[in-house]
Amino acid sequence: MSGRPDPVDPIDVVDLIAEAARACPAVAGLHGGLFGRCTTYLPGRRVPGVTLSSDEAVVGVVGCYPASVAEIASQVRAAVGAVVPGVPVTVIVEDLLLPGERLPGDDRTSPIDDAARTA
């Protein structure tokens, strides 16, 4: 028995990256980019907002205003970096969700309510 861990299936890694990015407080959701350029295509499904190569992980997100692009990127880099340590993480903030807005096809609103906007 060697001391090396079992290799992780790349499909599992893509799903873990997506989960880690979605869990960030400043992230409303993942975004596949223009024409789905930031999308992983898997058998029978796709994971928009994540691409993984031997050189880097690229994550496309929709952020939650009032978080800055720098804050959003920092949160995503930290979360994804824990999944793929040592792999550079590029974060593309495709859009910002304003208070009370919803992502298309999502019934959740931005975690910042309208009261925070008027305060």
CATH of the domain at 68: 3.30.70.1350
The answer as to whether 66 is a domain residue is: yes
The answer as to whether 71 is a domain residue is: yes
According to the model, what pLDDT value does residue 16 have? 96
The count of structural domains within the chain is: 1
According to the model, what pLDDT value does residue 106 have? 63
According to the model, what pLDDT value does residue 36 have? 85
Global confidence as pTM = 0.80
Which sign, positive or negative, has the C-alpha torsion 40, 42, 46, 47?
Answer: negative
The answer as to whether 68 is a domain residue is: yes
CA 12 to chain centroid: 15
Tell me which residue range forms the domain holding 55.
Answer: 10-118
Q: pLDDT by residue for the chain (119 residues), tens digit each?
A: 445 454 567 788 999 999 999 999 999 999 999 888 999 999 999 999 999 998 999 999 999 999 999 999 999 999 999 999 999 999 999 999 998 888 876 654 444 444 443 43
